[in-house]
Protein backbone atom coordinates (compact mmCIF):
# COMPACT_ATOMS: atom_id res chain seq x y z
CA UNK A 1 0.00 0.00 0.00
CA UNK A 2 1.28 3.47 -0.70
CA UNK A 3 0.94 6.78 1.03
CA UNK A 4 -1.25 8.84 -1.15
CA UNK A 5 0.66 7.40 -3.71
CA UNK A 6 3.01 5.26 -1.64
CA UNK A 7 2.70 1.58 -2.42
CA UNK A 8 1.97 -0.76 0.34
CA UNK A 9 2.87 -4.22 -0.59
CA UNK A 10 0.11 -5.10 1.95
CA UNK A 11 3.03 -8.73 2.26
CA UNK A 12 0.93 -12.28 1.58
CA UNK A 13 2.70 -11.82 0.21
CA UNK A 14 0.25 -7.71 0.11
CA UNK A 15 1.90 -1.91 -0.55
CA UNK A 16 -1.07 -0.85 1.16
CA UNK A 17 -0.96 0.82 -1.57
CA UNK A 18 -1.92 0.13 1.28
CA UNK A 19 -1.52 -15.40 -2.20
CA UNK A 20 -4.55 -18.05 -2.87
CA UNK A 21 -6.51 -21.00 -2.92
CA UNK A 22 -9.82 -22.43 -3.89
CA UNK A 23 -11.72 -25.37 -2.59
CA UNK A 24 -10.77 -27.24 -5.72
CA UNK A 25 -8.03 -29.84 -5.81
CA UNK A 26 -4.51 -28.68 -6.60
CA UNK A 27 -3.73 -28.72 -10.29
CA UNK A 28 -0.45 -29.77 -11.86
CA UNK A 29 1.17 -26.76 -13.47
CA UNK A 30 3.32 -27.08 -16.60
CA UNK A 31 5.91 -24.42 -17.32
CA UNK A 32 7.45 -23.69 -20.72
CA UNK A 33 11.18 -23.81 -20.02
CA UNK A 34 12.03 -21.95 -23.25
CA UNK A 35 10.70 -18.67 -21.84
CA UNK A 36 11.76 -16.73 -18.79
CA UNK A 37 9.60 -16.89 -15.69
CA UNK A 38 8.76 -13.21 -16.07
CA UNK A 39 7.63 -13.70 -19.69
CA UNK A 40 5.46 -16.63 -18.63
CA UNK A 41 4.11 -14.67 -15.68
CA UNK A 42 3.11 -11.75 -17.88
CA UNK A 43 1.43 -14.10 -20.38
CA UNK A 44 -0.46 -15.81 -17.56
CA UNK A 45 -1.40 -12.46 -16.05
CA UNK A 46 -2.90 -11.33 -19.36
CA UNK A 47 -4.74 -14.64 -19.73
CA UNK A 48 -6.42 -14.38 -16.35
CA UNK A 49 -7.13 -10.66 -16.53
CA UNK A 50 -4.27 -8.98 -14.66
CA UNK A 51 -2.37 -6.09 -16.17
CA UNK A 52 0.94 -7.64 -17.31
CA UNK A 53 2.69 -4.33 -16.65
CA UNK A 54 1.95 -4.78 -12.93
CA UNK A 55 3.83 -8.09 -12.72
CA UNK A 56 7.32 -8.10 -11.23
CA UNK A 57 9.72 -10.75 -10.01
CA UNK A 58 11.94 -9.66 -7.17
CA UNK A 59 13.39 -10.74 -3.86
CA UNK A 60 11.13 -11.15 -0.86
CA UNK A 61 12.84 -10.53 2.47
CA UNK A 62 12.32 -12.71 5.54
CA UNK A 63 12.79 -11.63 9.19
CA UNK A 64 16.21 -13.28 9.47
CA UNK A 65 17.52 -11.39 6.44
CA UNK A 66 17.28 -14.30 4.01
CA UNK A 67 15.56 -13.78 0.68
CA UNK A 68 13.41 -15.78 -1.71
CA UNK A 69 12.18 -14.95 -5.20
CA UNK A 70 8.49 -14.08 -5.49
CA UNK A 71 6.11 -12.90 -8.19
CA UNK A 72 4.57 -9.58 -7.12
CA UNK A 73 1.14 -8.42 -8.26
CA UNK A 74 -0.75 -5.26 -7.34
CA UNK A 75 2.43 -4.01 -5.65
CA UNK A 76 1.88 -5.51 -2.23
CA UNK A 77 1.00 -9.15 -2.89
CA UNK A 78 3.87 -11.63 -3.23
CA UNK A 79 3.29 -15.17 -4.50
CA UNK A 80 5.40 -18.22 -5.14
CA UNK A 81 5.42 -19.49 -8.74
CA UNK A 82 3.09 -22.32 -7.73
CA UNK A 83 0.60 -19.91 -6.22
CA UNK A 84 0.74 -17.45 -9.10
CA UNK A 85 0.43 -19.95 -11.95
CA UNK A 86 -2.45 -21.59 -10.08
CA UNK A 87 -4.57 -18.44 -10.37
CA UNK A 88 -7.63 -18.72 -12.57
CA UNK A 89 -9.83 -16.19 -14.35
CA UNK A 90 -13.20 -15.21 -12.95
CA UNK A 91 -15.88 -12.68 -13.71
CA UNK A 92 -15.09 -8.99 -13.29
CA UNK A 93 -17.02 -7.24 -10.52
CA UNK A 94 -16.42 -3.71 -9.30
CA UNK A 95 -17.26 -4.28 -5.66
CA UNK A 96 -15.55 -5.54 -2.50
CA UNK A 97 -13.58 -8.74 -2.88
CA UNK A 98 -11.94 -11.70 -1.21
CA UNK A 99 -9.74 -14.48 -2.54
CA UNK A 100 -10.99 -17.98 -3.27
CA UNK A 101 -9.10 -19.25 -0.23
CA UNK A 102 -10.05 -18.35 3.29
CA UNK A 103 -8.66 -19.34 6.68
CA UNK A 104 -10.50 -22.43 7.91
CA UNK A 105 -11.11 -24.49 11.05
CA UNK A 106 -8.63 -24.26 13.90
CA UNK A 107 -6.44 -22.04 11.73
CA UNK A 108 -8.82 -19.20 12.60
CA UNK A 109 -6.99 -18.86 15.91
CA UNK A 110 -3.95 -17.02 14.59
CA UNK A 111 -0.82 -16.54 16.70
CA UNK A 112 0.78 -13.31 15.49
CA UNK A 113 4.34 -12.36 16.40
CA UNK A 114 5.56 -8.79 16.37
CA UNK A 115 9.22 -9.25 15.48
CA UNK A 116 11.49 -7.38 17.92
CA UNK A 117 14.99 -8.67 17.16
CA UNK A 118 17.73 -6.12 17.57
CA UNK A 119 18.40 -5.99 13.83
CA UNK A 120 17.20 -4.07 10.80
CA UNK A 121 13.92 -6.00 10.70
CA UNK A 122 12.71 -5.45 14.26
CA UNK A 123 9.59 -3.33 14.81
CA UNK A 124 9.96 0.13 16.32
CA UNK A 125 7.94 1.20 19.34
CA UNK A 126 5.51 3.05 17.05
CA UNK A 127 5.12 0.02 14.76
CA UNK A 128 4.49 -2.21 17.78
CA UNK A 129 1.69 0.13 18.88
CA UNK A 130 0.29 0.09 15.34
CA UNK A 131 0.33 -3.71 15.40
CA UNK A 132 -1.52 -3.79 18.74
CA UNK A 133 -4.18 -1.47 17.33
CA UNK A 134 -4.43 -3.53 14.13
CA UNK A 135 -5.01 -6.76 16.06
CA UNK A 136 -7.64 -4.97 18.15
CA UNK A 137 -9.41 -3.92 14.93
CA UNK A 138 -10.12 -7.59 14.22
CA UNK A 139 -10.69 -8.87 17.74
CA UNK A 140 -13.27 -6.24 18.65
CA UNK A 141 -15.64 -7.23 15.81
CA UNK A 142 -18.75 -9.21 16.65
CA UNK A 143 -19.93 -11.97 14.34
CA UNK A 144 -16.40 -12.74 13.13
CA UNK A 145 -14.94 -16.16 13.99
CA UNK A 146 -11.30 -15.09 14.10
CA UNK A 147 -9.11 -14.93 17.20
CA UNK A 148 -5.83 -13.08 16.76
CA UNK A 149 -3.37 -13.69 19.61
CA UNK A 150 -0.49 -11.23 19.71
CA UNK A 151 2.94 -11.63 21.27
CA UNK A 152 6.29 -9.95 20.69
CA UNK A 153 9.64 -11.67 20.33
CA UNK A 154 12.04 -13.26 17.87
CA UNK A 155 10.90 -16.89 17.41
CA UNK A 156 9.07 -16.26 14.15
CA UNK A 157 9.31 -19.91 13.08
CA UNK A 158 6.75 -20.87 15.72
CA UNK A 159 4.23 -18.15 14.83
CA UNK A 160 1.31 -18.44 12.41
CA UNK A 161 2.02 -14.90 11.23
CA UNK A 162 4.96 -12.57 11.78
CA UNK A 163 4.98 -8.80 11.27
CA UNK A 164 8.39 -7.23 10.70
CA UNK A 165 10.11 -4.22 9.16
CA UNK A 166 12.01 -4.25 5.86
CA UNK A 167 12.70 -0.53 5.51
CA UNK A 168 16.36 -1.15 4.69
CA UNK A 169 15.32 -3.10 1.57
CA UNK A 170 12.59 -0.76 0.28
CA UNK A 171 12.56 2.81 -0.98
CA UNK A 172 8.78 3.39 -0.83
CA UNK A 173 6.42 3.35 2.16
CA UNK A 174 3.85 0.63 2.84
CA UNK A 175 3.68 -3.09 3.33
CA UNK A 176 3.43 -6.45 1.58
CA UNK A 177 1.80 -9.77 2.36
CA UNK A 178 0.27 -12.85 0.76
CA UNK A 179 -2.99 -14.76 0.63
CA UNK A 180 -4.18 -17.83 2.59
CA UNK A 181 -3.08 -21.23 1.30
CA UNK A 182 -5.43 -23.69 -0.37
CA UNK A 183 -5.36 -25.69 2.86
CA UNK A 184 -6.87 -22.80 4.84
CA UNK A 185 -3.71 -21.52 6.51
CA UNK A 186 -3.21 -17.73 6.75
CA UNK A 187 -0.30 -16.06 5.03
CA UNK A 188 2.66 -16.02 7.40
CA UNK A 189 4.98 -13.16 6.45
CA UNK A 190 3.81 -9.55 6.70
CA UNK A 191 6.28 -6.78 5.95
CA UNK A 192 5.98 -3.07 6.62
CA UNK A 193 8.52 -0.47 5.58
CA UNK A 194 9.38 3.21 5.94
CA UNK A 195 6.39 4.05 8.15
CA UNK A 196 8.30 5.60 11.04
CA UNK A 197 7.75 9.10 9.68
CA UNK A 198 3.98 8.57 9.68
CA UNK A 199 1.52 8.51 12.57
CA UNK A 200 0.67 5.45 14.64
CA UNK A 201 -2.70 5.48 12.85
CA UNK A 202 -0.95 5.01 9.50
CA UNK A 203 1.08 2.13 10.95
CA UNK A 204 -2.18 0.65 12.22
CA UNK A 205 -3.77 1.09 8.79
CA UNK A 206 -0.98 -0.59 6.83
CA UNK A 207 -0.69 -3.52 9.24
CA UNK A 208 -4.46 -4.03 9.36
CA UNK A 209 -4.51 -3.93 5.56
CA UNK A 210 -1.71 -6.51 5.22
CA UNK A 211 -3.31 -8.82 7.78
CA UNK A 212 -6.43 -8.42 5.66
CA UNK A 213 -4.63 -9.83 2.62
CA UNK A 214 -3.25 -12.62 4.79
CA UNK A 215 -6.75 -13.81 5.68
CA UNK A 216 -8.18 -13.42 2.18
CA UNK A 217 -9.01 -9.78 1.43
CA UNK A 218 -8.31 -8.45 -2.06
CA UNK A 219 -7.93 -4.71 -2.74
CA UNK A 220 -11.37 -3.12 -2.79
CA UNK A 221 -10.32 -1.05 -5.80
CA UNK A 222 -8.28 -3.75 -7.56
CA UNK A 223 -10.28 -3.09 -10.72
CA UNK A 224 -9.20 0.55 -10.99
CA UNK A 225 -6.68 1.46 -8.25
CA UNK A 226 -8.49 4.76 -7.90
CA UNK A 227 -7.04 5.27 -4.43
CA UNK A 228 -3.64 5.53 -6.16
CA UNK A 229 -4.85 8.06 -8.68
CA UNK A 230 -4.94 5.42 -11.41
CA UNK A 231 -7.61 3.96 -13.66
CA UNK A 232 -7.96 1.51 -16.50
CA UNK A 233 -6.19 -1.47 -14.90
CA UNK A 234 -7.37 -4.78 -16.29
CA UNK A 235 -10.39 -5.66 -14.21
CA UNK A 236 -10.82 -9.36 -14.82
CA UNK A 237 -8.76 -11.32 -12.35
CA UNK A 238 -8.40 -14.57 -10.55
CA UNK A 239 -9.63 -15.04 -7.04
CA UNK A 240 -11.62 -11.83 -6.73
CA UNK A 241 -14.94 -12.93 -5.30
CA UNK A 242 -17.51 -10.19 -4.63
CA UNK A 243 -18.63 -10.03 -1.00
CA UNK A 244 -22.41 -9.59 -0.71
CA UNK A 245 -23.65 -6.51 1.12
CA UNK A 246 -20.62 -4.35 0.35
CA UNK A 247 -20.27 -1.31 -1.88
CA UNK A 248 -20.87 -1.48 -5.62
CA UNK A 249 -18.06 0.43 -7.27
CA UNK A 250 -15.21 2.28 -5.60
CA UNK A 251 -15.44 2.70 -1.83
CA UNK A 252 -13.02 5.59 -1.10
CA UNK A 253 -12.91 5.02 2.67
CA UNK A 254 -12.27 1.25 2.61
CA UNK A 255 -9.20 0.21 4.57
CA UNK A 256 -8.52 -2.34 1.82
CA UNK A 257 -7.97 0.20 -0.96
CA UNK A 258 -4.62 -0.23 -2.70
CA UNK A 259 -3.13 3.11 -1.57
CA UNK A 260 -3.40 5.04 1.68
CA UNK A 261 -3.41 8.64 2.79
CA UNK A 262 -1.29 10.14 5.55
CA UNK A 263 -4.52 11.25 7.25
CA UNK A 264 -6.01 7.76 7.58
CA UNK A 265 -7.46 6.80 10.97
CA UNK A 266 -6.56 3.12 10.55
CA UNK A 267 -10.10 1.89 11.19
CA UNK A 268 -12.42 -0.39 9.19
CA UNK A 269 -15.41 1.27 7.55
CA UNK A 270 -18.88 -0.32 7.55
CA UNK A 271 -18.29 -2.17 4.28
CA UNK A 272 -15.03 -3.64 5.60
CA UNK A 273 -16.87 -4.92 8.68
CA UNK A 274 -19.70 -6.37 6.57
CA UNK A 275 -17.13 -8.11 4.40
CA UNK A 276 -15.38 -9.68 7.40
CA UNK A 277 -18.67 -10.84 8.89
CA UNK A 278 -19.58 -12.41 5.54
CA UNK A 279 -16.19 -14.10 5.17
CA UNK A 280 -15.85 -15.33 8.75
Treating both helix axes as pointing N-terminal to C-terminal, what angle do 125-139 and 200-214 enclose, rounded to 10 degrees? Answer: 50
CB 186 within 8 A of CB 214: yes
One-character DSSP codes across 16-67: -------SSPP------TTS-HHHHHHHHHHHHT--GGG-EEEEEE-TTS-E
* Residue 11 CB contacts under 8 Å (≥ 6 apart), including other chains: 60, 76, 78, 175, 176, 177, 178, 187, 189, 190, 191, 192, 210, 213, 214
Residue 258 pLDDT: 86
Residue 51 pLDDT: 75
Residue 56, strand partner residues: 72
Domain count within the chain: 1
Averaged pLDDT, 2-10: 49
Phi, psi of 156 (to 5 degrees): -70, -20
What's the CA gap between 233 and 73, in Å, rounded? 12
Among 21-35, 119-133, 207-221, top mean pLDDT goes to: 119-133
Q: What is the CATH number of the domain that holds 185?
A: 3.40.390.10
pLDDT in tens, 9-67: 444 334 444 433 333 344 454 555 578 999 999 998 888 767 788 899 999 999 999 99
For 179-234, where are the E strands, in sequence order? 189-193
Q: Sign of the CA dihedral 166, 207, 12, 75?
A: negative
CB 17 within 8 A of CB 228: yes
What's the CA gap between 201 and 159, in Å, rounded? 25
Average pLDDT, the chain: 82
CB 259 within 8 A of CB 206: no
Residue 206 pLDDT: 98
Structural domain boundaries, residue 141: 2-279
Task: Supply the pTM of this predicted model.
Answer: 0.79
pLDDT in tens, 159-212: 999 999 999 999 999 999 998 888 899 999 999 999 999 999 999 999 999 999
CB 279 within 8 A of CB 138: no
Residue 115, strand partner residues: 153
* Number of Cβ within a 10 Å radius of residue 171: 7
Amino acid sequence: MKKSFFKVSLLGFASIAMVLTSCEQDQEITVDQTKSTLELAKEHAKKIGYNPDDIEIRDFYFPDGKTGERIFIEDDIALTEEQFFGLEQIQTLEKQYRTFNLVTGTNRTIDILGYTANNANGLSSKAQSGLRWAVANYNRLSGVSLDLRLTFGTNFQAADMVVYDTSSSNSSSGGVAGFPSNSGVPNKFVQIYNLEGFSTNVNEHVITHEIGHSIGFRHSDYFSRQSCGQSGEAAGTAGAVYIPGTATGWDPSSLMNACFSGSTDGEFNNNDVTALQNMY
